[in-house]
Structure formats: structure tokens, C-alpha cells
Amino acid sequence: ALNRIGLRVVMDVVYNHLDSSGPCGISSVLDKIVPGYYVRRDTNGQIENSAAMNNTASEHFMVDRLIVDDLLNWAVNYKIDGFRFDLMGHIMKHTMMRAKSALQSLTRDAHGVDGSKIYLYGEGWDFAEVARNQRGINGSQLNMSGTGIGSFNDRIRDAVNGGNPFGNPLQQGFNTGLFLEPNGFYQGNEADTRRSLATYADQIQIGLAGNLRDYVLITHTGEAKEGSEIHTFDGLPVGYTSSPIEIINYVSAHDNETLFDVISVK
């Protein structure tokens, strides 16, 4: 109904974990169909829980198929216009690419849907058992360049707010007073904080240019560098996209504090 009145609808999809597993749980479904097949296990045979609980294994053929088939169901029968993938980095890249291809093949004449307008994006975090492609090439930020699939930009978030959601909450950033209005939490001497603020400014400019890896920026040191040559404090490239469509810039989301609270506490 929303679609019919002209609104485009994006659905948050959580394919990376199950609510329950095993033969007895009331909400255990897939694990009862083929016990042990749909979940990802460690070398000791225990179920991986880094995605909350009961991580799914899209590197397995029928998990991959289930995800793609389900997306097609939502697109064709409910006219969903976009999908936001929870922990996309825990889903294999080939699954994401198959999903995009299948959705884009939908036509208005045959399916009542223009698949070319369906947008895919998600949380491209690279951590836990899938980190560094340990289970296959995953849907993490650096792997998705050139796919046309978007990922959330934590680089601009951390530069604007300061620090990161897992560090000391008093770490300041570009809009929370770093160097200019110190809050009493030691973040280095005056030269250090001035340099950090200038570095954050570079990262924000890359973000405003779509986080393009080949965007050329004159940095705070006066050097001309491409986005991929500018790095975060953790050593990751700031620019990693091939197109602005592959980035979702944000400073506040459903995780962690709101922007108002972040500014207040810092």
C-alpha cells in the first residue's frame, strides 16, 4: 500500500543469525530442517555467535539460496524497494552479488517490479570468524568496491564525533571540540590534538566526496593524496569506494548514542 501511493520502502533484513537453533527450541526452524547445516561453526564444532547468536553460513549453498529467494519474495510480492543488510560483512560477497543480480533482473512487465531501482546496502564490518576473508570473501567494506552495493561509512562518523563507539566516550572529534575546546580528558599535547583535528578534517572531506578511493585531496600537510592513500588511526584506507552509490554517510544510527548525546557527553 505504501508503494502504491508513491513511497519507496526499505526493509532491514537480518540474515546473519537465527533466533534459535537445535531440535527443541520453539523458534528453531532452519536447524530442524537440516540439523547443523544452516549455522556456522568453529573448529571445535560449536556454533559461532559473533553476530548475536546462531550465526548463519551463507558460504553454504542452501543458505545462499534461501537469502536470494527470500529477497525476491519481498521484492515481487511486497514491492520492497531496497534492503539494508544487518552485519553484511558476515554474509559472503558472492551471496550479495547473486542477490543484486537476481533483483536487478526483475522487470515491471514480468514481475510488476523495476529491479534496476532496488538498492542494497549494509553494515560492512569485518570482524570475528569472517575477518580477513577467513570463511571466503565476505561482504565487508573493502571487498564491496565496484559492486554498486552500499556500506555504512564509520570513517566519517568517527571523524565527526571523535574516537569510536568502543573507545573512551570522552574522546573528541571535529564537531565535539577536539583541540579547540578540550574537555579535560587527555588526548595528547596541543600539537597532537591539532594534528588529529586536521587528520579528521581530511577524512571528512574524503567522506563528502563519496569515500572514493581515487579521489585526490590536498591534505592538511599540503600533499596530494588519493582517498585510498589516506588512512584512519587504525591503518585502514579512508577511501575505498568506486562510486558514491557505495557509501552511506552517517554520524548517528540505532547503535550507540544519538548525535545529541554524543555531543553532550564529549
State pLDDT tens for residues 88-138.
999 999 999 999 999 999 999 999 999 999 999 999 999 999 999 999 999
Residue 65 contacts by C-beta under 8 Å, 6 or more apart in sequence?
none
Q: How far apart are CA 249 and CA 252, in angstroms?
A: 10
List the one residue out of 138, 146, 144, 141 whose CA is nearest residue 123.
141
Q: Of 59, 86, 229, 257, which is the active-site residue?
A: 86
Banded model confidence at residue 27, pLDDT cuts 50, 70, 90: very high
- Residue 220's pLDDT is 96
- Residue 256's pLDDT is 85
Q: Is the pLDDT score of 4 beyond 90?
A: no
Question: Quick check: is 123 catalytic?
Answer: yes
Q: Global pTM?
A: 0.95
Q: Is the pLDDT score of 3 beyond 90?
A: no
Over residues 182-205, mean pLDDT: 97
Per the DSSP assignment, residues forming a β-bridge with 83 are 11, 120
Q: Across all residues in the chain, what is the average pLDDT? A: 96
CATH of 9-144, one of 2.30.30.100, 3.20.20.80, 3.40.50.450, 3.40.605.10: 3.20.20.80
Q: Is the pLDDT score of 254 beyond 90?
A: no
Question: Quick check: is 86 catalytic?
Answer: yes
Enumerate the domain spans of the chain. Answer: 9-144, 153-265
- Residue 123's pLDDT is 98
Q: Of 123, 129, 202, 246, which is the active-site residue?
A: 123
Distance of CA 51 to the CA centre of its chain: 13
